[in-house]
A and B are shown apart, each in its own frame.
Chain A
Amino acid sequence: MTTMLQIAGVVAGYDGSDVLKSVDMTVETGSITCIVGPNGAGKSTVLKTISGLLRPRLGTITFLDKPIQGFSPRAVLETGIVQVAQNHSLFNEMTVQENVRLGAYLLNDRARIDRALAEVEDLFPIVHERAHEKAGNLSGGQQRLVEFARCLMLNPKLILLDEPSMGLDPRTLKAVFDTVKMMQASGRTILLVEQNVKTGLGASTHGVVMESGKVRLTGSSAEILHHPEIGHLYLGGTLEDANTAEGSPPASTSAPAAQR
């Protein structure tokens, strides 16, 4: 596997305070990489920094061997990275089709936009079936699918998904993650952030654990899922506490547990 995205020493935050404190991670081409971690770990901030919504103070972000740190959101989109934001990110007062068309806002070729729309309508029938309804009238799961459809309009290489499971019931959740796998199977690389560790890592190929603005573990999703310290971390402790309690050497956790 080749590296599609590499983040090295990224420091970023809001209003002068740093949320990310020197983050290092890689995303392999064709993988589904899931970032997990407790609230406030900086998971969503990583995605915002990649997509250009937040400018990193220090560090480099390399996408397909080209530096993209500090790019505007539009410039990041042009490189082939799209983000599906946390919560419902559709424009509620606009129709489903208008929302999906907005995904191709960068394109000027009308024929190409129509072709992209026809393709996503094939993948997501709801885009055609509910084309002229207001997006705000759809259920949470349906809105997620329309968001996915919108993000595919630019035929991206890397898709950033911020908590795709948020607010969804188990049945809808399964459909949403099946769609994530379908997008991967069609050649896209996915970097997602999940609060729901089992669901997120269960659907991924690779995992990254973050805590307090730093990456604490990386490895295959199976390794991360069965790592003994994950449960402790989510039950309120830190990885250092877990190591002290269990007598493990601190080096095994502060460094990546299973380097790829």
Chain B
Amino acid sequence: MQHLRKVSPLVWLFAGIAFPFVISDPTYTTIAIFALLFAAAASAWNIFSGYTGYIALGHAAYFGIGGYALAIICQHWQIPGGYTPFYLVPLCGLLAAIASVPLGAIALRTRRHTFVVITIATFFILQLLSYNLRSLTNGSSGIDFPLILQWAPGFYNLPFYYVALLLTVLALGVSWFVRHSKFGLGLLAIRDDEDRALGLGVRTGSSKLIAFVISAFFVGMVGAVYSYFLGSVQPSFTFDALFDVAIALMVFMGGIGTLTGPILGSLVLESSQQYAALNFTQGSGGLYLIMYGSLFLVVILLLPQGIVPSAKALWARYQATHTASVLPDPSGSGGANPVARSAPGDGMGLATPREEAKA
């Protein structure tokens, strides 16, 4: 099992690299690009919101900043279409991260519902700016990216696919590193009880802000690649409020605060939405939206904690019952239950909760 855990990330990575060679139809590689970009964004969002418990609903602002930054840079520096804009993606992420420092610092002076409202407000301020700073953003007309004429139609999706895959792997790697670091321990403590965390010496203010900026950096990069793939930026869809709802839903569906949940949630939701939109829109209006909503309802009803935590709980329950049936208890008191066996007394005369329940 331990061996399997070490190998499975490599298997997934290999599957990710091989995917466009196995399924080369641009329809499906396009879906995969969108799904991977959302997976990177959701994983990054989870580094802040999942680990600290602060639900931010304004990350579309950093998505938009990333997209606009790349479009404006390409326009001003007259960068031709092709690979060059990809090299500028980290710079766009950096600009989004820089913008997130003051905005995050202001929002993080508050907690809970007020924090959510302030993050939404910052998003709308930036969307309004993109409409009104015409000299920079070209107003509601938006800015077109340079055309990529040299790439053949069959090849066009490949570079975008691998950049999206790279962003997802990087976001997941950073998420893993944070989760296993002292910094991540502090974030989880903040999620559980911020005042207690402060009492243990956790610098709660700076920890939250650093997590916020890391997530904005990745979301900014995703915004840049996403916009470049679409070919233009416009206030209404580059600063899209639905983006926030989408990544929050994806993370909740996969399992908030988990490592792989956000990736799984976005791959399932984004691909099914794109697939349904492609196949069930003609003639039947919004049928795909009903399918999309139904899928989400089913998951919430059957797996309320999200897919990953619910699956883990089911697996633990299966293992417990399976082991119990394989190893009959000689005393007949449930002693073969691995949960009971892994929970011995504390060696200090204190009963385990199980013993207390019996008493």
User: Which residues in A have some Cβ–Cβ distance to B below 8 Å?
Assistant: 51, 53, 73-74, 77-78, 83, 85, 89, 91-94, 98, 101-103, 105-106, 108, 124-126, 129-130, 133, 137-139, 141-142, 145, 171-172, 174-175, 178-179
Contact = CB atoms under 8 A, between A and B. Distances in A.
Given A139-B352, A139-B353, A105 B347 contact: no
Contacts of B126: none
A172 B350 contact: yes
28 contacts: A53-B198, A73-B198, A73-B199, A73-B200, A74-B201, A89-B196, A91-B188, A91-B189, A91-B192, A92-B192, A93-B188, A93-B191, A98-B185, A102-B200, A105-B182, A105-B201, A106-B201, A108-B182, A124-B346, A126-B346, A126-B347, A126-B348, A129-B347, A139-B353, A141-B350, A145-B348, A174-B349, A175-B348
Given A85-B196, A171-B349, A139 B356 contact: yes
Contacts of B202: 102, 105
A83 B196 contact: no
B335 interface: no
B186 interface: yes
Interface string B154-192: 000000000000000000000000000010011011011
Interface of B: 182, 185-186, 188-189, 191-193, 195-203, 343-344, 346-353, 356
Contacts of B352: 139, 142
Contacts of A94: 185, 188-189, 192
A78 B202 CA distance: 12
Majority DSSP secondary structure for residues of A touching B: helix
B192 A105 contact: no
A142 B198 contact: no
Given A145-B350, A175-B348, A129 B343 contact: yes
Residue from B200, B203, B347, B348 whose CB has the most chain A CB atoms within 10 Å: B200
A182 B44 CA distance: 46
Contacts of A175: 348-350
B256 to A, nearest CB: 12
B188 A98 contact: yes
